[in-house]
């Protein structure tokens, strides 16, 4: 019976173009584990609920479709505990429950049919799905200009530790430089993210430091920053404290201008960057969020899936520090992984209740992607917020290098525009206390 259902989906491959990547990833994972009934349930539910997103549209929750429609069991991660150091981790085999009576595991009797299905529609990591960018994982040395360095470093404290890579441009001697902290997306690495964004090339061209913290699989099986976990959304705790610690370590080891320190990220890394801006506005002068979500958009795995699909109807706006957070946001309006409404919510959160004058312009990138650029300026005419809507683009870094994963070379160069925006903003009185 299950094999026949799978084959029916194979014959109806066109429907897969509307299927969110989150569901494809989850269905693929369940299939590889032989949990075919659950995988089929994910696929059927995704196809029923799939719908195109439109930029800037208001998305309301269907009262007949509760947030729990994607239960935590579809990810099968064990919640934080004392023995897991506060991180979500893969459960022990004895804890796994396929939902069958008595906690038994469904036998993988139709694995061949499911593998054929995923082979035809494109497994995650090997073929394009709809308008999503193809993740390409290539591991090879990154070219470094003579005199420049791309160092592997380690940060450790009582809160936790992370490896990271730091690009030091060839022209650096002892002068004061800006610092940009780049937070990769799920399944990515510092090298992959550096290649895809081309940020090292810009650092060499414009002379600034770039840091790439690495999220290990021990902290998240897919190497995602845990933006959806309340334990990693606050100052002085969890991953925000570690990322801030890496930032301060570099500021101590190099001659960094404390007023020109910035943080940016893609997808889960973009959500983490939004958290860093909200938690450490005294450390980061501006933030960049590509295809991400606002700080506090989710507090657990079910609400994370709901926020990715529909946004969060009410995102907490913090006015604790009394100022708007300079923010530049990029998001494709055909993103089927993170609903574009999340970009609107990031901007709303960064405004911190302040009033701005809005200017809208439109353009076309050389690669063919058209865009709408919304600039919000304050009372003295400074562009405090920028929102780039990428028409026809999916879940990928705009204007990136196709040698890296999750990139769309057709769009405007998000890296260059972020650096332009960042360097317009310098904190005049930056404090970076040890918390």
Give the pair of three-digit tokens for residue 61. 């929750």
Query: Given a cut of 60, is residue 425 above it in pLDDT?
Result: yes
Range name among 26-30, 183-187, 382-386 with the lowest pLDDT average: 26-30
Upper half-sphere CA count for residue 385 (Cβ side, 13 Å): 26
pLDDT score at 192: 96
Shared-domain flag, residues 328 and 365: yes
Shared-domain flag, residues 291 and 402: yes
pLDDT in tens, 292-317: 999 999 999 999 999 999 998 555 55
Give the pair of three-digit tokens for residue 335. 């993103």
Residue 141 confidence class, pLDDT cut points 50, 70, 90: confident
Q: Which domain holds residue 83?
A: 2-55+63-100+111-121
User: Is residue 323, in this structure, part of any structural domain at all?
Assistant: yes
**How many helices and strands (H and E) does the chain possess?**
11, 12
**329 CB-near residues (< 8 Å, 6+ apart):** 288, 289, 290, 292, 343, 346, 347, 385, 386, 387, 388
Give the pair of three-digit tokens for residue 101. 């009576």
Shared-domain flag, residues 73 and 166: no
Burial of 431 (0-12, 13-18, 19+ CB in 10 A): exposed
CA-based nearest residue to 343, from 333, 357, 329, 353: 329
Reduce the DSSP state of residue 7 to 3 states and report it.
Answer: helix
pLDDT in tens, 86-129: 443 433 433 333 332 222 233 333 444 444 444 433 333 322 22
Shared-domain flag, residues 70 and 182: no
Shared-domain flag, residues 310 and 413: yes
Residue 381 φ/ψ region, left for φ over 0, alpha for ψ in the -120 to 50 degree band, beta for the rest: left
Quote the CA–CA distance of 301 and 187 in Å, as a whole number: 17
**409 CB-near residues (< 8 Å, 6+ apart):** 367, 399, 400, 401, 402
Shared-domain flag, residues 294 and 377: yes
User: Is residue 183, in this structure, part of any structural domain at all?
Assistant: yes
Query: Given a cut of 70, is residue 151 above it in pLDDT?
Result: yes
Shared-domain flag, residues 115 and 154: no
Per mean pLDDT, which of 89-98, 199-208, 422-431 is the most reliable? 199-208
Upper half-sphere CA count for residue 388 (Cβ side, 13 Å): 29
Query: Given a cut of 60, is residue 170 above it in pLDDT?
Result: yes
Is the pLDDT higher at 433 or at 373? 373
Across the range 65-80, mean pLDDT stands at: 32
Reduce the DSSP state of residue 257 to 3 states and report it.
Answer: strand
Residue 428 confidence class, pLDDT cut points 50, 70, 90: low
Per DSSP, 313 falls in state S
Contact 58, 348 (CB under 8 A): no
pTM above 0.75, yes or no: no
Residue 393 confidence class, pLDDT cut points 50, 70, 90: very high
Residue 4 confidence class, pLDDT cut points 50, 70, 90: low
Run of H or E including 374? strand 370-377
Shared-domain flag, residues 371 and 255: yes
Bridge-based pairing of strands 397-398 and 407-408 is parallel
User: Is residue 213, in this structure, part of any structural domain at all?
Assistant: yes
Shared-domain flag, residues 87 and 189: no
Is the pLDDT higher at 279 or at 39? 279
Shared-domain flag, residues 175 and 241: yes
pLDDT score at 371: 98
User: Is residue 140, in this structure, part of any structural domain at all?
Assistant: no
pLDDT score at 118: 41
DSSP string across 23-77: HHHHHHHHHHTT-HHHHHHHHHHHHHH-----TT------TTS-GGGS-GGGT--
Is the pLDDT higher at 46 or at 156? 156
Range name among 68-72, 361-365, 383-387, 417-421 with the lowest pLDDT average: 68-72
Contact 260, 181 (CB under 8 A): no
pLDDT in tens, 250-266: 999 999 999 999 999 99
Contact 367, 411 (CB under 8 A): yes
Shared-domain flag, residues 91 and 166: no
User: Is residue 128, in this structure, part of any structural domain at all?
Assistant: no
User: Is residue 130, in this structure, part of any structural domain at all?
Assistant: no
Shared-domain flag, residues 116 and 194: no
pLDDT score at 352: 79
CATH number at residue 258: 3.40.50.1820
User: Is residue 12, in this structure, part of any structural domain at all?
Assistant: yes
Around Cβ 367, how many Cβ atoms within 10 Å?
13
User: Is residue 90, in this structure, part of any structural domain at all?
Assistant: yes
Upper half-sphere CA count for residue 80 (Cβ side, 13 Å): 14
**Domains: count for the chain:** 2
pLDDT score at 133: 41
pLDDT in tens, 23-71: 555 565 556 555 566 666 656 554 444 433 333 333 333 333 333 333 2
Residue 323 confidence class, pLDDT cut points 50, 70, 90: confident
Quote the CA–CA distance of 406 and 369 in Å, as a whole number: 16
Across the range 261-272, mean pLDDT stands at: 98
Quote the CA–CA distance of 395 and 122 in Å, as a whole number: 16
């Amino acid at each position: 019976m299950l094999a026949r259902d799978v084959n029916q989906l194979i014959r109806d491959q066109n429907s897969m173009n509307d299927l969110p990547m989150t569901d494809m990833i989850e269905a693929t994972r369940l299939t590889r584990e032989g949990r075919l009934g659950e995988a089929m349930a994910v696929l059927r539910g995704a196809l029923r609920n799939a719908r195109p997103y439109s930029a800037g549209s208001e998305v309301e929750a269907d009262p007949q479709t509760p947030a729990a429609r994607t239960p935590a069991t579809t990810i099968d991660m064990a919640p934080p505990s004392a023995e897991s150091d506060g991180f979500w981790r893969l459960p022990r085999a004895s804890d796994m429950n396929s939902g069958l009576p008595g906690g038994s595991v469904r036998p993988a009797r139709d694995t061949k049919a499911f593998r054929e299905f995923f082979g035809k529609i494109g497994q995650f990591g090997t073929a394009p799905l709809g308008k999503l960018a193809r993740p390409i994982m290539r591991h090879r040395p990154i070219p470094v200009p003579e005199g420049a360095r791309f160092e592997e470093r380690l940060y450790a404290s009582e809160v936790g530790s992370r490896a990271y890579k730091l690009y030091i441009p060839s022209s650096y001697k002892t002068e004061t430089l800006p610092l940009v902290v780049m937070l990769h997306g799920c399944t990515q690495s510092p090298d992959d993210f550096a290649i895809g964004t081309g940020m090292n090339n810009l650092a060499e061209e414009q002379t600034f430091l770039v840091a790439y913290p690495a999220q290990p699989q021990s902290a998240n099986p897919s190497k995602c920053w845990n933006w959806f976990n309340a334990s990693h959304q606050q100052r002085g705790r969890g991953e925000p404290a570690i990322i801030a610690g890496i930032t301060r370590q570099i500021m101590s080891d190099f001659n960094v201008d404390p007023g020109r320190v910035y943080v940016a990220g893609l997808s889960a890394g973009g959500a983490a960057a939004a958290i860093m801006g909200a938690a450490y506005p005294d450390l980061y002068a501006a933030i960049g969020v590509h295809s991400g979500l606002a700080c506090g958009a989710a507090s657990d795995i079910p609400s994370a899936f709901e926020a990715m699909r529909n946004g969060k109807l009410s995102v907490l706006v913090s006015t604790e520090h009394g100022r708007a957070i300079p923010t530049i946001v990029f998001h494709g309006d055909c993103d089927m992984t993170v609903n574009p409404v999340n970009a609107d919510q990031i901007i709303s959160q960064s405004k911190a209740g302040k009033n701005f004058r809005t200017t809208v312009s439109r353009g076309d990138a050389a690669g063919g992607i058209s865009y709408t650029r919304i600039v919000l300026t304050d009372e003295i005419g400074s562009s405090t917020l920028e929102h780039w809507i990428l028409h026809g683009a999916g879940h990928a870094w705009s204007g990136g290098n196709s040698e890296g994963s999750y990139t769309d070379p057709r769009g405007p160069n998000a890296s260059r525009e972020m650096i332009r925006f960042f360097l317009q903003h310098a904190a005049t009185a930056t404090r970076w206390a040890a918390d």
